[in-house]
Structure formats: C-alpha cells, structure tokens
Amino acid sequence: MTSPIPFHETLDLTLCGNMGRVHRLCREAITAVVEPLGLTQSRWIAMIHINHLTEGATQQLLAHSLGIEMPSLTRTVKQLEQQQLIIRCVDEDDKRSRKIYFTEQGQQLLNTLKVLIVDVKQQLYAGLTTEQLDTMAYGLVQMEENARRCLKLLSQEK
C-alpha cells in the first residue's frame, strides 16, 4: 500500500513556486493600495526596508537588504529624495558612503504606509487562524535558514 501524497506535493507549482506567486500577489495588493500616495512598488518597499534597518542605514546596507545591486537602488533612492521623503548624508566614518534618513514628510508618509499595509494584511490573512499564521511563519523562517545554508555550502564547493 502506498502512502498518500503530501498536500504540498500536489500543488500545481512547487511549494517554493507557490510562495513566490503569493509573495508577488501580496506586493501587488499593497502597491495598488499605496499608489494614490505617489509610491511605486520599489519606493514603498525601499521605505519599509529603511524603516526596518533603522534610519542612518547606508545605501549599501539597503541594497543588501533588498537583494539588489547598488545601480538598481540608486534610481529609487533618488526618486524618494526628489519627493522629499528621504535625505542622504555623507557618512562621517566613510566619506564614500551615504546614510539615509527620513524627512518629516517621509516619516508621515511612512506612518500612513504602515497603516495601509496592516489593513491589506488583515485582508490577506482572512480565514487563517493565528496558529496557522504562526506555523507558516516558523516554516518560512526555517526554509530561509535552510536556503542560506544551502547557498553557503554550494559556494564553498566552487
């Protein structure tokens, strides 16, 4: 007698593929909600990462957090600066580096952005219990750790 196929193996895409699709849909939902604020997807995501890293983070640290190269980030940072949402200051410890800070206007917009994201998350989490969300969160954290470990091992084999 064969054992039943686990549910995650019955998905149209792999589990990782489905996570990627859900992630894209979640980003699209938030982007649609924040568009009236004058924020594109790259701008609101950068703002959330700046907030997460704490103000005064360098552009290099922000690029690493976003998983993108510096040239890709530069355009977004310049746009946020043109919108007067952030300012960039030369790092006193490393004159080649710039640190990013929210302006007062940027901080106000960030607060509005965070409220809108909470509202969208409530809609996205509809029908899921706290226990289901926690289990999913723990699983994602573990998968991220496993992926980082896997990449590290693969890079050492080269």
Interaxial angle between packed helices 41-53 and 59-66, expressed in degrees from 0 to 180 and rounded to the nearest 10: 110
More confident residue, 77 or 91: 77
CA distance 20 to 23: 5
Domain ranges of the chain: 17-125, 127-157
In the block, tokens 């594109």 appear at: 40
Question: What average pLDDT does range 145-152 have in this prediction?
Answer: 94
Instruction: Give yes or no for residue 158 having a pLDDT over 90.
Output: no
Contacts of 113 (CB under 8 A, 6+ apart): 34, 37, 39, 44, 47, 48
Average pLDDT of the residues of the chain: 92
The whole-model pTM stands at 0.85
pLDDT tens-digit series, residues 118-135: 999 999 999 999 999 999
Instruction: Give yes or no for residue 1 having a pLDDT over 70.
Output: no
Q: Given this model, what pLDDT does residue 30 score?
A: 97
Domain 17-125 falls under CATH 1.10.10.10: yes
In the block, tokens 């700046």 appear at: 50
pLDDT tens-digit series, residues 47-70: 999 999 987 999 999 999 999 999
